Chains A and B, each alone.
Chain A
């Protein structure tokens, strides 16, 4: 089907044809024709954010919670440069988003025109791919290809820069066709390597699944296959921050998150396993600790759709390039056809060892006195919301790690956090994007007061669209993670790591017309959380917490998994565990 229309109309038509229902954006001179086209249709809802960074994070939240690509529309120059942080965030976390930017007219490109920036140049390293479209006739095929590139293979952000004259001019629109472009990533894994992994699984005495965001990105079927595989083999499973929810937190084989602030049992299992099965994770430095001592005695298998992830950081023995869902399906077939074998007696001993580690209860804390411990606040939030249809976003810092530790995720796509880039200011706009995708669900952003302030202007967006996002701020009046590092690594010199002149968050909420709740007494916490949940509208929950609480467990700089700091937790028994656990 081809039709004549303007470039601006093509943008809207392509979005409709690609199944887009929501666009997050902010208008400006170079995208006015597209905004005019949006005004004249009723298929796509436009969400006006208050800052372009917010638009990109909202699109990320929408994408991660729905499994569909998120779409942003921003203007040229500052609109595009404000999108850069969000693009980089999406690149590092492999989130499919499509960012459309306006550009000055083609005949003015290169003249330092008003609001001109070299958008494709600036965003080349922070997108999976980008395009500058100089002819209206080429626009529709680029738009469709952008969706193909963003969502195929390892997903990621793409950007299309559209000069204003291209938006005004008429051309031929082509409806989407199955992509015929060169870019067609491999999704099926090599069956020989898969068989090799199955052989290793049959023999393994101390196996471990180490899963990541790739399982979530592969879609719900991949999480389902993972659950079947774990149940069938009885192997223990741990996950990265990005992969939480692929396997349920209530599952029998769940060890909890691993890594720098991961659980004791998960990290020691990584250190002590003899077969590591990495499924859609990338050996991030927050996971590995010091590389020379990372899981020293294991055979390592790595399933990843991106060949560049293989052997990038950790040399693996069984590389399998392919989509997690496809590979797990084949893996199950091969394993079943060979008689569903595991070394169950050895795996039983392995579980006995793991249970000893679990008995340490590394997340144990004691709430006493009249100051709320952040761990307590999150435990109560978990208890009071876990039966809800719930989505969680976070900002970045201590609260993020505590949220990962103390909240349980039963399903994929329920947990949206900035893992790779660590973008403070991510969570609030992301919660807006999630709520747009799930209007009836409970959406909570677990935040620190410093992170939250970085994109606080989006309270206006939440109010305008009546998005009842709950902002659960653990307020310690500190940049908590920075302060913790300064305590541990910089001789307790707290350089610029506390927030002076914080706003009164209740009044701030009220200034936007939202509801503010202040809670500082542990005895009032449950009631206050219930008040937040029962309010039909955005809530700013200012939870005053212990100011100097540190986040544990922690693998300190340059240390291995078996050298965790456990902090205040009961350390009896940790000393005789393998390796020297620093306390």
Chain B
């Protein structure tokens, strides 16, 4: 009984093996989830991701319809196509979730994120930071003799690029809101 000729991916200590032979290409998807704005609804969504081992790259939430008591949660997540489908189906099961939209596949959409960057330095670096901020259309929302706080809005890639440029120029602190997204068209 000792040799059960176990196959790769299985363990002698495990009764089962969950390795489906679906596509294993990991994709990034932006989901818009309309939920009832009731206590605990965010915990339900986050608990689902934590409990089932899904990724959250970013998450934003705010009430968008006060009369209808609806909030919109925008989640950027990653996973194989099968995992993404599961995430959507599992979100849809939550009793207080009204709609789940996968903006990545439901036609073109626009994504924006707001970020604030504190950059400290003086001399040439300070000038350079200001010059780059101008190119990126970042606003200066606070300034001291040796620091700036920039505010920038844009697609996450633009904010990543700005962060990369600020890092050698004295980047001290970053705050990002996470992605808000809407589908394009009517």
Contact = CB atoms under 8 A, between A and B. Distances in A.
Contact of A291 (B18, B86, B98): B18
A315 B39 contact: no
Interface residues of A, number: 37
A121 B17 contact: no
A283 to B, nearest CB: 10
Interface in A526-583: 556-559, 582
For A125, A149, A558, the residue with the greatest tally of chain B CB atoms inside 10 Å of its CB is A558
Contacts of B13: 489, 557
Interface string B78-120: 0000100110011011111010000000000000000000000
A312 B85 CA distance: 8
Contacts of B2: 491
A499 B123 CA distance: 78
B73 to A, nearest CB: 16
B66 interface: no
For chain A, what secondary structure do more than half of its interface residues adopt (helix, strand, loop), or is it mixed? Answer: loop
A535 B181 CA distance: 69
Contacts of B175: none
Given A183-B95, A487-B1, A315 B20 contact: yes
Contact of B15 (A124, A128, A557): A557
B169 to A, nearest CB: 44
A312 B40 CA distance: 26
Given A183-B95, A314-B20, A315-B22, A558 B89 contact: no
A310 interface: yes
Interface of A: 120-121, 124-125, 128-129, 132, 149, 154, 182-183, 260, 285-286, 288-292, 306-308, 310-315, 487-489, 491, 556-559, 582
Given A311-B86, A558-B12, A558-B17, 19 more contacts: A128-B95, A129-B95, A149-B95, A260-B15, A285-B18, A290-B7, A290-B10, A290-B16, A290-B17, A291-B18, A291-B21, A307-B89, A307-B92, A308-B90, A311-B82, A312-B89, A557-B4, A557-B6, A558-B14
13 contacts: A121-B43, A124-B43, A125-B51, A149-B95, A307-B92, A312-B86, A315-B20, A489-B4, A489-B12, A557-B6, A557-B14, A558-B11, A582-B4
Across the A-B interface, the 9 shortest Cβ-Cβ residue pairs: A558-B10, A285-B16, A308-B89, A129-B95, A307-B89, A558-B6, A183-B95, A308-B90, A557-B15
